[in-house]
Structure 1
């Protein structure tokens, strides 16, 4: 074996260090500037015997966690709105955290103009996230979303009804971290013979809804961890987002879906946790 000289050793060491630094810099650039812009449209079919025939192929679009800021701007929101409108949703759902720091944000009029352009003939609905309550933002969020023709549901109940009389139910819980969720008062209004959807920002609300007839729960909050590692998953998830972190889970008769959201918070990075818009298509089952 040829003996390695000191110069060769140093050259190889410098080469390895340079490659490592280049990889690290490339990884930083990807996580900071590329993946946060790579919005993924995920599509899921929800089948249930409780879905009326009139709602067969009914389209629900969920978006979440925009965290409007200098990182996710109103221009980013505008691009998101274009993608949502191209999906032609019948019903549009926003599952909370509109603005990252409500007490510091000043671009409300531009945000309002974009949100007003979102279209859904059977309604636009939204719930509170922890950032919507934080920074004294509770009333600001409500006023902004209502001005954009969203129905802000807080521990509330609604029905979506077609002209043929068929209907599905919507229920919402207030934010688990900074709000006052009323499980019993809200979910006891659901019917066991009607397809129901629960809107709640934090996905781990699913741990407490087992005795209520919820068929589909839509949540956000976790951002899919924002940074995931292969074979490990999310590095860090927030309170009330520890059990259900990303994607779809089936719990007895309830499907729980955790949307990865669109913006970022604390650190402006995403890695293996692409921003997401979700399209659900309802299918009536005869079984």
Structure 2
């Protein structure tokens, strides 16, 4: 029986077989390998919502994602990112997964904590699992590193961020969709509809389920913005659970979704038309 290949399968094969020629034809090997992966965009957005309390007006949230620590995204590069984040003076810091590319093979695990410990946010540092954090028997490795660095790991959990006047917003985190055990109903089913609710979900297509709950803003990573984009085409390939939403801000029914392009690379150490980014969100009340 003749095997039928989808357009996406064909493109995946094309990428694996002739990536070098594609990159050369569309912008140059050296740029994609050495220049763009070392760039950094600081993307800023204002989030205006009637449920944001007055005490949170001007509240700054910084998201970073997908560092994929490896021989290509080094600890020195992570230190640069930490310095950039601290310069933004975030009130709240959120990491949306994939810290190490291969946790069980990374040889400098003991050096990660002192770097991440330097990140400062007076209202806390929160993180969720990505697929690479679970992969390669990395579940406990990631948990130990991220918690020792002062982050609270949200695995199908919800926490409140409160002000002295008693007003609050909530931050929820679900487990990774690919290799974890995400619980939408158990995590999001009891969200207070009167509170501004933020969801951390590594994979952006979690929005297809999250939109059914009282989520106002979902923050995700995972896609790397495709990591390699072609002019006038967009991402050449996006990973599972990032096929519907791949980069930037979306309106998904009643909620907003932001897909961060991440910082590192995986599989291949190239980026083209998908510059690494850190995202800052400033909350603004309507009243």
Give TM-score, length-normalised by structure 1.
0.91
- Does 2:173 match 1:168? no
Structure 2 SS opposite 1:135: coil
For residues 172-191 of structure 1, the aligned pairs below 5 Å read 172-191=173-192
Tell me the distance in 2 between the aligned counterparts of 1:206 and 1:252: 10
The equivalent residue for 2:199 is 198
Tell me the distance in 2 between the aligned counterparts of 1:188 and 1:271: 39
Structure 2 SS opposite 1:117: coil
Structure 2 SS opposite 1:125: strand
- Does 2:109 match 1:126? no
List alignment gaps of at least 5 residues for structure 2: 1-20
Q: 1:26 to 1:273 in 2, by over 3 A?
A: closer
The equivalent residue for 2:106 is 105
Deviation string 1:9-60 (CA, Å, 9 cap, x unpaired) is xxxxxxxxxxx9xx65961000000000111000000000000000000000
- Does 2:110 match 1:117? no
The equivalent residue for 1:219 is 220
For residues 84-103 of structure 1, the aligned pairs below 5 Å read 84-103=85-104
Tell me the distance in 2 between the aligned counterparts of 1:273 and 1:25: 13
The equivalent residue for 1:152 is 153
In the alignment, is the contact (CA less than 8 A) between 2:61 and 2:282 conserved in 1?
yes
Tell me the distance in 2 between the aligned counterparts of 1:25 and 1:58: 41
Structure 2 SS opposite 1:62: strand
Larger radius of gyration: 1
In the alignment, is the contact (CA less than 8 A) between 1:157 and 1:189 conserved in 2?
no
Deviation at 1:268, TM superposition (A): 0.3
Deviation at 1:130, TM superposition (A): 0.2
Deviation string 1:216-269 (CA, Å, 9 cap, x unpaired) is 000000000000112211000000000000000012220000000000000100
The equivalent residue for 1:135 is 136
List alignment gaps of at least 5 residues for structure 1: 1-19
RMSD: 1.6
Give TM-score, length-normalised by structure 2.
0.91
Tell me the distance in 2 between the aligned counterparts of 1:103 and 1:209: 31
Name segments (4+ residues, structure 1) moved above 2 Å: 23-26
Deviation at 1:210, TM superposition (A): 2.4
In the alignment, is the contact (CA less than 8 A) between 2:65 and 2:97 conserved in 1?
yes
